[in-house]
Every structure is written in C-alpha cells, then in structure tokens.
Amino acid sequence: MSDRQGARPKRRRSSSLSRKSRTVQKTKRRSSSSGEEGPVKKKPAKGKGSKRLLGGHMSIAGGIWKAVHDSVIVGGTAFAMFLGSQRTWKSKPIDERAAERFRQACVEYGFHPSVILPHGSYLMNCGSPRRDIFQKSRSMLIDELRRCEQLGLTMFNFHPGSTLNEISVEECLERIADSINYAHQHTNKVMTVIENMCCQGNTVGGRFSEIKGIIKLVRNKKRIGVCLDTCHAFAAGYDLSARGGVKKMLDEFDAQVGMKYLMAIHLNDSKGMLECHKDRHENIGYGHIGLDGFRQVMNEPRLRKIPMILETPHRPNFDYEKEIKLLRSLCN
Ligand SMILES: [Zn+2]
C-alpha cells in the first residue's frame, strides 16, 4: 500500500449494496425532474490527463439518454451503462424516442461510439452447459447487440461465462465462441467485447489463454474485442500494484491475445488481495492495487487512446467526478 493510500480514511461500504447497484454510482442531476433539460456543457478539461478517455458506468434510470447527461456532469469523456433491466431475461424494448434522444445527446456532447461501452446483463452465461440458460443467453446476446445498433453504438461488453463445474473449460470456451458466432450471424456490425474475469468459482476468461481460446474460434475477428478490468486482473494474479506490473500484464496480454484486440479498460481498485479470485471492486486508491498501480495505468502509452471506465462503489464525498479528476491528476 502506498503512503497516500494509507492516509485515507477507511470507511465501510454499506452492506446493503447489491452486486448490480455497486456498479452504478448515482449522479446528482441538474436537469429538471421531467428530464427535459440537459446538463450544462462543460469546458473541456485542461492540463495533464485531459485527453484520457475516462468515465463511469452510468445509471439509465429515468431514460437511457440520462447516462449521457450524467457523464457530462461528472466530467467524463467515455462511459458505460446497462441496456435494460438486470433482473429479467426479457427487458422491454428501448422506446425509439428514447433511443433518438440518446443518439442526439451523444452527438451534442461529443461522445463518439468508440468511447461508449454498454455492459451486458449478469444473467447471461453464453458458455452454460444447461440448455435453457444457454439458449436464453444467446437470445439475450442478440437482443443486446440489436439494442446497441438502435442506439448507434458499435461495441458491447459482457462476461464470457461459467462452466458451472459441469463441463470442461475448453467446452465452455467453445460454447461461448459458438454463441458469439451465432449472434454475429443474426446482427449487423456491433463488436462483441469479452471481459477478463478474476478466476472466481467456475468462471472462464480469468486467464489470457482462455480469452485467446475464445477469440481463436470466433469467425469474424473484426467483431471480437477485449475489455480488461484492473480489479479482475489483480484478483486473478496480475500484480498491478508492483512496479512495472501494468507493463508486465500488457506484455503478456499482447503475447497471448494481441493488443489489437484491446478495446477498453475497466478501472477498479480491488478490495481483495492479489490472486484472491474475488470480484470485489473498490474505489481508486482505497484497495490493494493502490494509486501507484493506477499511475502506471494512466501513463501506459498503449492505453492512451482507449476508453477507461470506472465501476467503483458509491462512497460519500468520492463520486465519479472526483475519481475521474484524481485519475487525470496521476498522468505525467
Ligand atoms: Zn468490469
């Protein structure tokens, strides 16, 4: 742990926060309750780190365009959001007026599709050995890619899947690749972006060799990418807190998978220790990766042009806006 990190007050996160809600910090909206007004346009950030593509996983409560408005409010230059309810297999379709409003807001506030990374439902397991879940997951993947198309987006991020300890990892990777191929066939051009996992339980994708195993079997290589989550990587055993740790991880990623596939970063500190195999996000600087680790991330030349998205828990007086500012300040 760094000195700066040690000096920070330690506060406990409310235990009532669910896994889903923890990835969405609430933003104080300046728009009216009817949502008719947008946020006031901000002057672009200046100085060190101002060019980095940074943002948070935003709430879509009240309308999907609110994710764009809230990103402006927190000073984001990239963002993520869910595309529907996280509780059901079948979300109601996105209303075309809401989609239009979202697309317009993206243009108005300067968010190019390349900086927006919608996140898939946690219900989805495209590698499931259970027939019903496998079928539902494939249908959901197609539905989510179509939602992206409707919103004018070009990437869709999701967790690869789990063996449920019922099939081999290889078989699971095949099922995932098969689902991706199937979804590609039924949609036009949105890129499927798989996320590295933390080797928790029976999940796959914690090892770069597993990510490579999926990509190898995807037919349309132009429509497959990877999002690296710093918390998941650390929990899987990549020591991002060590000097040179970020470079080492990316070198290994490049050797095994290839940097050309890296589309985005999820910026999360880790509540758990190195190689704990636990998916427990922490605010930047409060966890075991620490500010020295994130300084490396922010100054790594290979990550300069890709979106970096926070999925950190709510913490009083340390919202996305402050976290983004802190991250920009770490840039040399
Ligand atoms: Zn993530």
User: Could you tell me if residue 13 is inside a domain?
Assistant: no
**Which positions of the chain have pLDDT values less than 50?**
1-22, 30-35
User: Could you tell me if residue 24 is inside a domain?
Assistant: no
Ligand 1 midpoint to CA 312 (Å): 9
How high is the pLDDT of residue 29? 56
User: Could you tell me if residue 147 is inside a domain?
Assistant: yes
Ligand 1 midpoint to CA 32 (Å): 31
User: Could you tell me if residue 15 is inside a domain?
Assistant: no
Structural domains of the chain, count = 1
Task: Report the alpha-carbon distance of residue 311 to residue 266 in Å, rounded.
Answer: 7
Ligand 1 midpoint to CA 8 (Å): 24
Read off the CATH number of the domain in which 125 is found.
3.20.20.150
How high is the pLDDT of residue 48? 79
User: Could you tell me if residue 112 is inside a domain?
Assistant: yes
User: Could you tell me if residue 252 is inside a domain?
Assistant: yes
Ligand 1 midpoint to CA 311 (Å): 6
What is the span of the domain harbouring residue 81?
A: 66-329
What are the catalytic residues? 87, 119, 122, 159, 195, 229, 232, 266, 279, 281, 311
Tell me the pTM.
0.90
User: Could you tell me if residue 14 is inside a domain?
Assistant: no
How high is the pLDDT of residue 36? 56
51-81: pLDDT as tens digits: 899 999 999 999 999 999 999 999 999 999 9
How high is the pLDDT of residue 196? 98
Ligand 1 midpoint to CA 85 (Å): 18
How high is the pLDDT of residue 25? 75
